A and B are shown apart, each in its own frame.
Chain A
Amino acid sequence: MPKLGTSIRITSAVAAAALLAVVVAGTAGARTSHKLSTISGAGSTFVSPLVAQWISPLGAAYGIELQYSPIGSGGGIAAITSRTVDFGASDAPLTPDQFSACNGCEQIPWALGGTAIMYNLPGVKNLLHMDGPTLAKIFSGQISAWNDPGIAALNKGVNLPSTKITIAHRSDNSGTTYNLTDYLSSVSPSWSSQYGKGVAVNWPVGVGGKGSSGVSAIVASTPGAIGYADVAFALQNHLQYFAMKNNSGKYTTPGARGILAAATSDQKPAADNSLSIVNPPKKFDNAYPISTFTYVIVPLQSKNATDLKHFLFWAVTKGQAGQYTAKLRFVPLPKSVLVVAEKAISKIHS
């Protein structure tokens, strides 16, 4: 046996070395970053599908290597506050406390999208309807089965199974959570007083997932699950989502039309550049009620100011083109918002 053992071990040593050599050779062949400069950012998972599309064309246009880590809006704010990255991204506008902690930062709206309420209900292919108060009851655990009368009332004629509802929410600090809870607070007084709105709330029921991918993963693998994320995630993972009832009584989906209609409800950014387009009043009859702008957070003074400005100008103009936004259901920034954004970007200096 010693002889066999020895030859096995010699083979292992040779194999380990060979494996190493293969890996080194392989990675050397990959396109290494010979870019002139790197811009790093972190934050919102909501906007990450769109930012991911920008990496390649940005490199081609300016030689900038864009690095983006989707760690959630809360993480993005923390990262830019500590200047670990060049920019942060958040769907939730900064609070006054966060602005002062960030010490000379500004927020700039740079994309417009909608939060889909996605679900996994095998066997039911219809586009299901949902409204705000019922959704609030679902997320607060008062409705816990799919064939609950509250859901059935909105979906007459659909055969709803008795499957238990599993809520998938965000376990990290999330701007998408802010968007959803902002909506729930405005349609349900009891949600507003019990849980409120924020990047994280005291979820009474459900399973936590990290990032929009985490929530999508839970919904995709759990029959009966309901979760929330930017509509791009629902599309990418072939998950169904609800048509939400807006204030005019229409049921709308998170598509270009619904999101754009919602955006027209607030065309003037506030002093801190934030906008609120959640649950628009009933005259915006095509609006999708859980839409949101999302923001990039940048320091007014940055050592990478030139590259940062190139990147951001490109992002809010060319980056909004249909080839990047259409398939992901992001909507190009409205003119009035674009003007404000460009003015804010030009304030960045080194």
Chain B
Amino acid sequence: MSAADVTATPTRRPFTGRRVRFGDAALQLVAGGAALGATVLVGLIIWKVIDGSRPSISKYGLGFVTRVAWNPVVGHELYGAGSFIFGTLITSFFALLIATPLALGVALFLTELAPRWIQAPVTALVETLAAVPSVVIGLWGILVLGPALRTNIESWLHSAFGWIPLFGPPSAAGASIFTAIVVLSIMILPIVSSISRELFLGVPPELKEGALALGTTRWEMIRGVVFPYARGGIAAALILGLGRAMGEAIAVTQVIGGGVFIHWSLFSGGDTLGSKIAASYQGASTDLQSASLIYLGLILLVLSLIANIAAQGIVRQVAKKHGVTRGGHA
């Protein structure tokens, strides 16, 4: 979905100053009800998630957010979100770090550098990857990527650079934070790349040609015209990608290996907020454990909402700056 503003140019005036027929009122009521329903739904989601986590909130308060612990042993129960928030942030940021240059590279390649005949197949490839469900990417991650990373990259990095704490002993069977980062970057690559491509295509050709006519090289034109013009949109795309990475639970839980403590090594197991919920909710045997898992969901919801609203804010600013941008790029 493009980051373009949802509120299209107003074409309608509300039906004011007109004799209101029953049918009109009825349709407006029903349609308005649906709109109201959506609003209520959002509020209900937020409320129910808070409600479900209440036993854990009242027991642990905000200390839950920083505590690194998850001990479900009855009689010694102690829960905390610290290691999972860490896992979520580490995996999402590293995934974004890897995916961004690649995505921008593909987008630039498709819009400025590639010969025309390459554009269709490459775009098709990116679209195909976007269509792969996350559970299938996770399946591929468990059976293909994980073992390949473990044998080829993790062991080499550990033996060559093992003195750096980031590169600890290779993981068992390839289930590690590192594999999760690679999986996430593959998943957000298509999103960031398609949005960037649309943004680059939306740069007015006159601006680009004008710069080239002045004698700039292609790179200088890109750096001086395309990037500044698309800067806001790209920022929004990145934040959108970040939000997507933070919210991904299934593919991550399949490849991340599980674990509570915060390790330096990228090759150790771990969990993110989403992956911990996906792994543990079904077997949660006490009310406190269930509530704590929902508390994790609440924290994830807050983080996603922040990312989402930030992206929306940037999109709105960009729209204001460039006027309404509903370009026809079929």
Q: Do chains A and B touch in the complex (CB under 8 A)?
A: yes
Report the Cα distance A71→B280, complex, angstroms. Answer: 10
Q: Which residue of A lies closest to B290 (CB)?
A: A78
B283 near A75: Cβ-Cβ < 8 Å: yes
B258 near A171: Cβ-Cβ < 8 Å: yes
A221 near B72: Cβ-Cβ < 8 Å: no
B269 near A71: Cβ-Cβ < 8 Å: no
B284 near A75: Cβ-Cβ < 8 Å: yes
B262 an interface residue at 8 Å Cβ cutoff? no
B282 an interface residue at 8 Å Cβ cutoff? yes
Question: Interface digits, B158-179 against A, CB 8 Å rule (1 contact, 0 not)?
Answer: 0000000000010111010000
Report the Cα distance A166→B175, complex, angstroms. Answer: 13
B259 near A208: Cβ-Cβ < 8 Å: yes
Partner of A207, one of B74, B172, B285: B172
A218 near B172: Cβ-Cβ < 8 Å: yes
Q: Are A71 and B172 also in contact (CB < 8 A) when A200-B72, A221-B147 are?
A: no
Q: Are A208 and B73 also in contact (CB < 8 A) when A78-B285, A173-B285 are?
A: no
B172 near A74: Cβ-Cβ < 8 Å: no
Q: What residues of B have a CB within 8 angstroms of the CB of A198 in the complex?
A: 73-74
Question: Interface digits, A56-86 against B, CB 8 Å rule (1 contact, 0 not)?
Answer: 0000000000000001101101100000000
Q: Are A202 and B73 also in contact (CB < 8 A) when A207-B175, A208-B258, A208-B269 are?
A: yes
A163-187: which residues lie under 8 A (CB-CB) from chain B?
Answer: 164, 166, 168, 171-174
Q: What residues of A have a CB within 8 angstroms of the CB of B213 in the complex?
A: none
B173 near A221: Cβ-Cβ < 8 Å: yes
A74 near B284: Cβ-Cβ < 8 Å: yes
Report the Cα distance A209→B71, complex, angstroms. Answer: 16
A218 near B73: Cβ-Cβ < 8 Å: no
Partner of B74, one of A72, A75, A95: A95
Min distance, Cβ B3 to any Cβ of chain A, angstroms: 25
Q: What residues of A have a CB within 8 angstroms of the CB of B130 in the complex?
A: none
Report the Cα distance A199→B171, complex, angstroms. Answer: 25
Q: What residues of B have a CB within 8 angstroms of the CB of A78 in the complex?
A: 283-285, 290
A1 an interface residue at 8 Å Cβ cutoff? yes
B82 an interface residue at 8 Å Cβ cutoff? no
A173 near B72: Cβ-Cβ < 8 Å: yes
B138 an interface residue at 8 Å Cβ cutoff? no
B132 an interface residue at 8 Å Cβ cutoff? no
Min distance, Cβ B111 to any Cβ of chain A, angstroms: 17
B141 an interface residue at 8 Å Cβ cutoff? no
B258 near A225: Cβ-Cβ < 8 Å: no
B274 an interface residue at 8 Å Cβ cutoff? no
Min distance, Cβ B254 to any Cβ of chain A, angstroms: 10
B120 an interface residue at 8 Å Cβ cutoff? yes
B283 near A71: Cβ-Cβ < 8 Å: yes
Q: What residues of A have a CB within 8 angstroms of the CB of B269 in the complex?
A: 207-208
Q: Are A208 and B257 also in contact (CB < 8 A) when A1-B120, A77-B285, A172-B282 are?
A: yes
Question: Interface digits, B43-84 against A, CB 8 Å rule (1 contact, 0 not)?
Answer: 000000000000000000000000000011110000000000
B279 an interface residue at 8 Å Cβ cutoff? yes
Q: What residues of B have a CB within 8 angstroms of the CB of A164 in the complex?
A: 169
Report the Cα distance A2→B282, complex, angstroms. Answer: 50
Residues of B within 8 A of A (CB): 71-74, 120, 147, 169, 171-173, 175, 257-259, 269, 279-280, 282-285, 290
8 A–B contact pairs at CB < 8 A? A71-B282, A75-B282, A199-B74, A200-B72, A200-B73, A207-B258, A207-B259, A208-B258
Q: A75-B284, A208-B259 are in contact. List 5 more A-B contacts (CB 8 A).
A: A72-B283, A74-B284, A75-B283, A78-B290, A200-B73
Residues of A within 8 A of B (CB): 1, 5, 71-72, 74-75, 77-78, 95, 97, 164, 166, 168, 171-174, 196, 198-202, 207-210, 217-218, 221-222, 225
Q: Which 4 A-B pairs have the closest CB atoms?
A: A74-B285, A75-B283, A172-B283, A208-B258
